[in-house]
Structure 1
């Protein structure tokens, strides 16, 4: 990004320079917004599993425990 800014700073005043400066501002704001390191990492909330959540993995076994 610094190379782009140096190039724009070397441009003569005018519409092209103004548009380039606006693009640089937009690009810098977008990078800032999308950077995942701008917020501290946190673990996702994992809900407590329910018996019905286990059914697809248990085959003929009951998710509610053994039956006698």
Structure 2
């Protein structure tokens, strides 16, 4: 990203430079937003299992007992 900034800083003032600076700003914010290490890692919330969660795997058997 620093190479792009250096290149844009060397550009003559005008619409092209303004658009490039806007793109750099957008790209930097996108990288910040998508960075998985931006927030501390945490385990996913695992819901409590329910009897109906087993239904697709039991065929003709009932998840509530025999």
TM range (shorter): 0.7 to 0.9
Give the match's secondary structure for 1:38: coil
- Cα shift at 1:63: 2.5
What is residue 36 of structure 1 aligned with on the other side?
Answer: 36
Distance of 1:9 and 1:41 partners within structure 2: 36
Distance of 1:19 and 1:30 partners within structure 2: 16
Number of equivalent positions: 66
Q: What is the TM-score when the length of structure 2 is the normalising length?
A: 0.77
Structure 1 residue runs without a partner (length 5+): none
What is residue 46 of structure 2 aligned with on the other side?
Answer: 46
Give the match's secondary structure for 1:27: helix
Query: Of Structure 1 and Structure 2, which has the larger fraction of its residues in helix?
Result: 1
Structure 2 residue runs without a partner (length 5+): none
Structure 1 outlier segments of 4+, above 6 Å = none
What is residue 21 of structure 1 aligned with on the other side?
Answer: 21
